[in-house]
Chains A and B, each alone.
Chain A
């Protein structure tokens, strides 16, 4: 099915562990994004990518790493998870006139 897929949908991890959230799009949109959403803060941009091998920081990049070796994939890695990274994470791709969001990954760091 065409679209943008995030995995896993739910994840519980321990403080200090590395965890990777996956994002895959079936189109060939150049731009991809990672947002986090917390109560009281709304959606905040973590990282974005304009094309394969081109990434840049968003509003809240600390503690996160991204890569984009292929146009269709944009994984987000928490190098050493902290409780403050408990959140819902949304991946998106963009045509320039319309953004498409995944269903989100609910991450809990205990």
Chain B
């Protein structure tokens, strides 16, 4: 699996967009970028995934650079309930996910 690098933490103002970066410079052509989040004391929750095209769902948008060496998860209108640890994972498939330290996102009122 490709290694990912995320900032340790970041703050975001409520109502503003939160942009979470992830570097994955060693990503292979058949590896997807997955994002999960873990709200305190709960199990991780799937957010979104993509291969090379930008993706959007009801929770977030995923922007992958053309060279696929980095990506950004965008929470368009952050709320206090979005405070969580966000994990960027690169894998061929969603099985046997390996979670790193992630980014601790704190949304402030």
Which residue numbers of A lie inside 8 Å of B, CB to CB?
A: 31, 33, 35, 42-43, 45, 48, 58, 88, 90, 92, 94-104
> A106's closest neighbor in chain B, by CB?
B41
Whether the pair A95, B96 counts as a contact (CB closer than 8 A) is: no
Whether the pair B95, A96 counts as a contact (CB closer than 8 A) is: yes
Cα separation A10 to B27 with both chains bound (whole Å): 39
Which residue numbers of B lie inside 8 Å of A, CB to CB?
A: 36, 41-46, 49, 93-102
- For B46, list chain A residues within 8 Å (CB): 98-100
Cα separation A12 to B96 with both chains bound (whole Å): 28
Whether the pair B95, A45 counts as a contact (CB closer than 8 A) is: no
Whether the pair B96, A58 counts as a contact (CB closer than 8 A) is: yes
Whether the pair A31, B95 counts as a contact (CB closer than 8 A) is: yes
Whether the pair A99, B42 counts as a contact (CB closer than 8 A) is: no
Cα separation A101 to B44 with both chains bound (whole Å): 6
> B101's closest neighbor in chain A, by CB?
A42
- Residue of A58, A97, A101 near B45 (CB, 8 A) is A101
Whether the pair A42, B43 counts as a contact (CB closer than 8 A) is: no
Whether the pair A103, B42 counts as a contact (CB closer than 8 A) is: yes
- Residue of B41, B42, B94, B99 near A97 (CB, 8 A) is B94
Whether the pair A43, B44 counts as a contact (CB closer than 8 A) is: yes
- For A90, list chain B residues within 8 Å (CB): 43-44
Whether the pair B99, A94 counts as a contact (CB closer than 8 A) is: no
Whether the pair B43, A94 counts as a contact (CB closer than 8 A) is: no
Closest chain A CB from B31 CB (angstroms): 14
Would you list 18 pairs from A and B whose C-beta atoms are within 8 A, ordered by A residue? A33-B96, A33-B97, A42-B100, A43-B44, A43-B99, A45-B98, A48-B96, A58-B96, A90-B43, A90-B44, A92-B43, A96-B93, A97-B94, A98-B46, A99-B46, A99-B97, A101-B44, A102-B43
Whether the pair B42, A104 counts as a contact (CB closer than 8 A) is: yes
Cα separation A104 to B38 with both chains bound (whole Å): 12
Closest chain B CB from A43 CB (angstroms): 4
Closest 6 CB pairs of A and B: A101-B43, A43-B99, A98-B46, A90-B43, A101-B44, A42-B99
